[in-house]
Structure 1
Amino acid sequence: MAKMLYENRMPGGTHWSLEMKQGTTLKLIDQEGGANVGMLFYNPQNPLERYNAPDTLKCQHTFKLTQGHCLYSDMGRIFCSIVDDTVGWHDTVGGNLSKAKLREKWQERTYQEARNDWTLSGTDSFLVELAKYGLGKKDLAANLNLFSKLVVAEDGALQFVEGNSQAGDAISLRFEMDTLVVFHTCPHPMNPAPAYPKKPVIYQLWQADPVTADDECMNACAENQRGFQNNERYLAGCHTGACCS
């Protein structure tokens, strides 16, 4: 039986990072509804390996992310698999809230001015966390926006869908390799809310159940099977791939 290892709450408009070990699960819960979690992944042993949004989507022939999907690195390996999801749609094309967009949409309030009621951009949130590991602006990549949904209008424009995630909705990410996870609870850059939305999220760390031969994520498509094989080689110590060709 899976065992919960840790639980904490992140207020809206804050940021955090941690290293998830292979065989653990990160569960995120939208406490009030309308949350957004911007997220990036890196290999802690080689931070040049990071989450790749285009490969994640094209490998699985999808525009959205939900249960059964895997999240790929730019080395063809799988950082984590979505093993449970009550939301049904998570965005991976909408981008991140920049400081310029923050100023354009909502009032920027510094900590010196507003203390804990300050407003942070997603970009600054990522950069603060990345700096803890010797990383910076050059290491930013296209990010996930968990709990958020974008659709394509008839004219081709992307539209933000309000109310996509309800209070209590959750997503669980099972990690298939050790992964540095950097995330924030700043709003989606396309959220039309008149005031800067601060939606809290609960995060839990669980011991994951072993991956079985009939695993939903691994067997969702042939590409995912190859991704798990790449992980198997990597975890066996064949990092270059030359000895496994």
Structure 2
Amino acid sequence: MQHVRRSPEEIAANRARYEDHQRKGLEFAPKALPTPSPLPAPPIDATLIVHQEIIPGGWYWSTRIKRGETLRVAQEQGFSTVSLVAWSAVDTSERLNLPDTVKMQWTTALSKGRVIFSDMGRVMFSITEDSSGAHDCLMGGSTAASNLAKYGEGTRNSRDNFIKLATKAGLDKRDIPAALALFAPVRVDANGKFAWKSELPHEGDYVELRAEMEMIMGFSNCPHPLDPSPVYAPKPVTVTRLSVRPVADDDLCRTATAEAVRGFENNASATL
């Protein structure tokens, strides 16, 4: 394959187009996202609960969720990172896409007011509540190798958990997308290295994800590879599935960025 050399003028023109596109995207975005959701987490109206699952430390759980339903993921029994993956229930070749989620919103900081995209440019989730803001969309979950190096033999990891739940859903390990790690305070330092910021999480943190399409979801409750604790002791995580509720026309997640607006337009066109 012949390598194409671009002139300095062409490179400069491409950069200028990129920077102009970025500027327009950032100008459209809100100057400041809402403050974190309040702690302690407000009680849930029992009439809204469709199902509630407690995922033990080291284990996994999968579920099918309807469009408009919300999942509250809560650390009610202590700190634990929980990773998630998702596929469209209509066509499982459409799946969670974190690189596009980052590129389309010009940020790796996923928090209240942001959305999570699929690889088809559609919105899978809206982050409607979030007390944490400390989530990792860059590194993914743990693997057998990372656990072995840190904890030795005999611990469960997210990669193997996702293979198990994907197999039960009739999928292959090649179908597993990069995982979003909730409650994982990972940041990139000035040298471009990943750093774990232990000061960011709060006791009792929670996040609420509103489903914007019908999906198959998988969760894995295993320590993040950068978690500084030398002890393998993930706490149980509570996932509560809430029934469909009305969404306002000026809903922040649906209007915060030009990319989110286009994503929801793609969602609407797919249902026509």
CA distance in 2, matches of 1:230, 1:87: 29
Matched, 1:36 2:81: yes
Aligned with 1:133 (options 169, 173, 178): 169
The answer as to 2:119 corresponding to 1:83 is no
Residue 104 of structure 1 deviates from its aligned partner by: 0.3
- Contact 2:79–2:234 (Cα < 8 Å) also in 1: no
**Alignment partner of 1:199 is 2:199:** no
**2:155 matched to 1:155?**
no
Deviates more, 1:192-201 or 1:124-133: 192-201
Which structure carries more strand by proportion? 1
Shift in alpha-carbon separation, 1:149–1:20, aligned structure 2, 3 A:
same
Whether 1:233 aligns to 2:269 is yes
* C-alpha contact (below 8 Å) 1:94/1:190 kept by paired residues: no
- 2:71 and 2:208 in contact (8 A); partners too: yes
SS in structure 1 at match of 2:198: coil
Shift, 1:163, TM fit? 4.9
Give the one of 151, 171, 191 matched to 1:106.
151
Shift in Å, 1:209: 2.0
Matched, 1:3 2:48: yes
Distance 2:51 2:201 in 1: 23
Give the % identical residues.
Answer: 36
> What SS is found at the alignment partner of 1:27?
strand
Aligned pairs for 1:110-121 within 5 A:
119-121=155-157
Higher RCO (CA < 8 A, seq sep 6+): 1
Q: Normalised by the size of structure 1, how large is the TM-score?
A: 0.88
Cα distance in 2, alignment partners of residues 71 and 154 from structure 1: 26
Post-superposition CA distance 1:129-159 (Å, at most 9, x none)? 0001111221122110001111122322111
Structure 1 51/57 Cα, relative in aligned 2: closer, same or farther at 3 Å?
Answer: same
Partner of 1:113: none
SS class of match (1:180): strand
| Moved >3 Å (runs of 4+) | none
**Contact 1:53–1:92 (CA under 8 A) maintained in structure 2:** yes
Q: Which runs of 5+ in 2 are unaligned?
A: 1-44
Q: 1:16 aligns with which of 48, 53, 61?
A: 61
Superposed CA deviations along residues 6-64 of structure 1, whole A, max 9, x for unmatched, are 22211111101011100100100012332111101101221111011111011111111
Residue deviations 1:183-213 (CA, integer Å, cap 9, x gap) = 1101111112111131211110111322221
* Separation of aligned partners in 1, 2:70 and 2:137: 20
- 2:3 match: none
Unaligned runs of 5+ in 1: 110-118, 237-245
Q: Which has the higher helix share?
A: 2
Candidates 222, 226, 230, aligned match of 2:258: 222
- Once residues 11 and 165 of structure 1 are traced to their aligned partners in structure 2, the CA distance between those partners, rounded to angstroms, is 20
Q: Note the aligned Cα RMSD (angstroms).
A: 1.4
- In 1, distance between residues paired with 2:196 and 2:178? 18
Work out the CA distance in 1 between the residues paired with 2:199 and 2:172: 33
Matched letter for residue 218 of structure 2? V
- 2:107 maps to which residue? 62
- Matched residue SS, 1:97: coil
Q: Which has the larger radius of gyration?
A: 2
Contact 2:167–2:173 (8 Å) recurs in 1: no
Q: Is 73-82 or 24-33 further displaced after alignment?
A: 24-33
- Match of 1:112? none
SS class of match (1:84): strand
Helix, strand or coil for the counterpart of 1:46?
Answer: coil
Q: Which amino acid aligns with 2:174?
A: K
Compute the displacement of 1:173 (Å). 0.5
User: Judging changes above 3 Å, is the alpha-carbon distance between structure 1 residues 220 and 26 closer, same or farther for their aligned structure 2 residues?
Assistant: same
Query: For 1:164 and 1:7, how far apart are their aligned partners in 2?
Result: 27
